[in-house]
Amino acid sequence: MHLTDTEISALEKTANEIRKSIIRSLVEAKSGHTAGPLGMADVFTALYFHSLNHDPKNPAWEDRDRLVLSNGHICPVLYATMAHAGYFPVEELQTLRKYGSRLQGHPHREFLPMVETSSGPLGCGLSQTAGMAIAERMNNGSLSHKHFFCMLGDGEMNEGNNWEAIMLLGKEKLGSVTAIVDRNLIQIDGNTEDIMPLGNLGKKFEEFGWHAQEIDGHNFEEIVGAINRAKAVHDKPSVIVARTIPSKGVKAWEYDYKWHGKPPSAEEGEMALQELLRN
Amino acid sequence: MTKLNPKVYTDDVEQLPTRKGFGEGLAMLASSDPDVVALCADLTESTMMHLFKEKAPERFVQIGIAEQNLVTVAAGMSAMGKYPFCSSYAMFSPGRNWEQIRTTIAYNNSPVCIVGSHAGVSVGPDGGTHQAIEDMALMRVIPRMHVIYPCDAIEARKATIAIAGARIPAYLRLAREKTGIITTDETPFEIGKAYIVHEPEAGGLAHVGVIACGPLVRFAMLAARDLEKKGIKAKVLNLHTIKPLDTESILALAKETQCIVTVEEHQKAGGMGSAVAEYLAQTFTVPIEFVGVSDEFGQSGTPVELVEKYGMGREDIKTAIEKVLNRK
């Protein structure tokens, strides 16, 4: 099931709009994370505009796929993608991190019930995803068509809680779960392989009984293809290690870990928007 | 007054561990409540969760020795409509996984019951590493969290069923050792509603109010009865719910007696006594003495040796009562 050129071109256009929204909201917020959200814009676009079984007009639809954002700090991309998908007005993105906003600095389900979990403290999204999938299997067994996605950062794979969840999901052979790891090779203090080397992540997952794929996280054909293959594996959980470029789309910021945890100034934001407008 | 076990003051009182009452309550829920599920971190028999597992194996999840995973998997199950009980030793859960409990259960508003067994120094020979005496402090500062510490196995059974019925984020504190049965099947139990378990035999107003929780409630009752021979009239309140606090019962007792002693197998700092003092300091100030652990760690020994060594024995309670009376 290949994407047509028209479909790919539409997804690329949407991802570009999402990147612009991310930059606008971060400039307005004057705080927040830049590199991860821009790097994951293509994967989020593929999910919300192609792969996820969901209904933005009915966020509580019981049969929806669940998407758990574990690395909550990249929420500007989640918010921007959800807004563009029709969950809430795009203008609301400009309230990011402000007093009274539904768009908390890290996602809060109580304020924004259409996100599946509150997150920010790292390493506990995958285990919550496991709990959801186990509960669903208890409820509906093999009749269930729900798929459970968990979005993870590679830096957060330092957390022991993730490996506890990886072991459990392997043991339980939960084919309804797909973890997508943003392999952008940066975390706050520097490059992941200097801070705490992760090596071949896919192989590590495989050792715990997972199906693993590694893809270019900016190639829609590869992203959608990997998700389709992951959903077709029923006897084990799947991981997609998505190689991404931190700050993808703004050449001057790409690959630089210093953009992990800071927002653009108004001038920097204007420069970036000019670059994205040319796409 | 509430109907209690007629043998509560006698040496041949029936003895059962509160964790047993939890296991029995959970096993009853296996039949009566299909959305109750159970998770354990490799301590299924120790925490008596096997009583549930035997009846509903398809609703039990073995997490392995991974307490962070224990509570976060439970939070995920809660988000899908289950009401999970997750059990371990109190030292490890909530001792090791506090932030996960705060974020994924309380902040996330995904109700789960965290069952901390083997709390207190009365764990005994395992030593200080295994004696959780800070756990109530950890749990009661989390918004939305309920903290419940039953006085005996019967109350633990009722608390388990009541917690499941209420679908609340809760911490249920249990003990390893067999302890004296105080209540009966007929004794009413309501989350957040304390009740008097000892009144002066002579009747009339009491001179001192003793507020206790957990199995030490019986020690407080015995101490109160001993002091009646000296003409000291004490009332004992079983404050099984540390959060939310039954302020009405506490205020009524403080007004009647004008002085309070709190009794708990926990650090004095941050525990039940602190909660009572925080409330009374703001509403009705009376002298208070705290019976509990004084900023120390436990060690190996028998439960009785340790409870006395750390100042929570029957004699210590009597000393605290006499001391607070002198401060009136």
Is beta strand B241-243 parallel, antiparallel or unpaired with respect to B146-148? antiparallel
Are B200 and B169 members of one domain? Answer: no
- pLDDT for residue A1: 61
- CA separation for the pair A262, A34 (Å, rounded): 6
- CA separation for the pair B208, B218 (Å, rounded): 17
| Interchain pair A165, B72: CB under 8 A | yes
Beta strands across the sheet bearing A211-216: A66-69, A148-153, A177-183, A238-243, A211-216
Are B167 and B204 members of one domain? Answer: no
3-class DSSP assignment, residue B76 = helix
Is beta strand A186-187 parallel, antiparallel or unpaired with respect to A190-191? antiparallel
User: Torsion angle, CA of A116/A121/A122/A125, rounded to 10 degrees?
Assistant: -20
Adjacent-strand bridge partners of A153: A182
Question: What are the start-end ranges of the E strands in B58-168?
Answer: 60-62, 83-89, 113-117, 146-148
Cα angle A101, A106, A110 (rounded to 5 degrees) comes to 60
Average pLDDT over residues A20-45: 98
Pick from A117, A161, A165: CB nearest B79: A117
Are B200 and B129 members of one domain? Answer: no
Average pLDDT over residues A206-235: 98
| Interchain pair A165, B100: CB under 8 A | no
Q: Is residue B44 part of a domain?
A: yes
Domain span at residue B249 reads 195-326
Q: Is residue B56 part of a domain?
A: yes
Q: Is residue B187 part of a domain?
A: no
Q: Give the active site residue among B14, B58, B67, B134.
A: B67
Q: Is residue B1 part of a domain?
A: no
Closest by CA position to B119, among listed B215, B6, B26: B215
| Interchain pair B64, A168: CB under 8 A | yes
Closest by CA position to B324, among listed B249, B261, B272, B282: B261
How many structural domains are present in chain B?
Answer: 2
What burial letters (b/e) apply to B90-100, b meaning 16+ CB within 10 Å? bbbbbbbbbeb
pTM of the full structure: 0.97
- pLDDT for residue A143: 83
Would you give the end-to-end CA distance of chain B in angstroms?
Answer: 27
Are B171 and B239 members of one domain? Answer: no
Are B23 and B157 members of one domain? Answer: yes
**Cα A32 to the chain's mean position, in Å?**
16
| Least Cα separation, residue B49 to chain A (angstroms) | 19
CB atoms within 10 A of CB B27: 21
| Residues in chain B within 8 Å Cβ distance of A110 | 107-109
**Among this protein's residues, is B305 annotated catalytic?**
no
Percent of chain A with pLDDT strictly greater than 90: 97
pLDDT at B191 over 90: yes
| Residues in chain A within 8 Å Cβ distance of B58 | 138
Cβ-count burial of B217 within 10 angstroms (0-12 exposed, 13-18 middle, 19+ buried)?
buried
Domain span at residue A106 reads 5-277
- pLDDT for residue B2: 79
Element (H, E) at B69: helix B67-79
- CA separation for the pair B195, B158 (Å, rounded): 15
| Interchain pair B68, A164: CB under 8 A | yes
Are B95 and B220 members of one domain? Answer: no
Query: What is the residue whose two structure tokens read 């760690």?
Result: B297
- Identity of residue B121: V
3-class DSSP assignment, residue A228 = helix
Is beta strand B234-238 parallel, antiparallel or unpaired with respect to B208-212? parallel
Are B37 and B174 members of one domain? Answer: yes
Are B160 and B241 members of one domain? Answer: no
- pLDDT for residue B33: 98
Q: Tell me which DSSP letter residue B62 carries.
A: E
Calculate the average pLDDT of chain B: 97
**Phi and psi at residue A271, to the nearest 5°:** -60, -45
Q: Is residue B9 part of a domain?
A: no
Closest by CA position to A263, among listed A36, A26, A105, A71: A26
Last-in-domain residue among B153, B180, B207: B180
Q: Is residue B273 part of a domain?
A: yes
- CA separation for the pair A32, A77 (Å, rounded): 11
Element (H, E) at B180: strand B178-180
Query: pLDDT per residue over B199-238, tens digit each?
Result: 999 899 999 999 999 999 999 999 999 999 999 999 999 9
Query: pLDDT per residue over B111-132, tens digit each?
Result: 999 999 999 999 999 999 999 9
Average pLDDT over residues B134-138: 98
Beta strands across the sheet bearing B170-173: B60-62, B36-40, B83-89, B113-117, B170-173, B146-148, B241-243
Query: pLDDT per residue over A140-165, tens digit each?
Result: 987 889 999 999 999 999 999 999 99
- Mention every residue, 6+ apart, whose C-beta is less than 8 A from residue A244: A39, A40, A42, A43, A182, A183, A184, A217, A218
**Residue B63: CATH number of its domain:** 3.40.50.970
| Residues in chain B within 8 Å Cβ distance of A112 | none
- CA separation for the pair B253, A243 (Å, rounded): 65
| Interchain pair A121, B78: CB under 8 A | no
How many structural domains are present in chain A?
Answer: 1
Pick from A110, A124, A132: CB nearest B109: A110
| Interchain pair B64, A167: CB under 8 A | yes
Are B101 and B204 members of one domain? Answer: no
| Residues in chain B within 8 Å Cβ distance of A136 | 80
Average pLDDT over residues B140-144: 98
Q: At what angle do helices B314-326 and B216-228 cross, to 10 degrees?
A: 60
Q: At what angle do helices A160-172 and A125-140 cross, to 10 degrees?
A: 20
Are B105 and B41 members of one domain? Answer: yes
Q: Is residue B186 part of a domain?
A: no
**Residue B201: CATH number of its domain:** 3.40.50.920
- CA separation for the pair B84, B167 (Å, rounded): 9
**Residue A213: CATH number of its domain:** 3.40.50.970
Q: With cut-offs at 50, 70 and 90, classify the pLDDT of residue A111.
A: very high
Q: Are B117 and B72 in contact (CB under 8 A)?
A: no
Pick from B61, B69, B80: CB nearest A164: B69
Query: What is the residue whose two structure tokens read 């708990």?
Result: B264
Percent of chain B with pLDDT strictly greater than 90: 98
- pLDDT for residue A279: 83
- Mention every residue, 6+ apart, whose C-beta is less than 8 A from residue B220: B198, B210, B212, B236, B261, B263, B317
Residue of A nearest to B100 (CA): A124
- Written as six digits, the tokens of A131 are 């709990």
Are B23 and B169 members of one domain? Answer: yes
**Phi and psi at residue B105, to the nearest 5°:** -105, -55
Are B292 and B238 members of one domain? Answer: yes
Render B185-243 in DSSP notation, one character per residue: TTS---TT--EEEE--TT-S--SEEEEE-TTHHHHHHHHHHHHHTTT--EEEEE--EEE
Query: pLDDT per residue over B43-95, tens digit each?
Result: 999 999 999 999 999 999 999 999 999 999 999 999 999 999 999 999 999 99
Query: pLDDT per residue over A164-177, tens digit each?
Result: 999 999 999 999 99
Calculate the average pLDDT of chain A: 97
Element (H, E) at B177: none
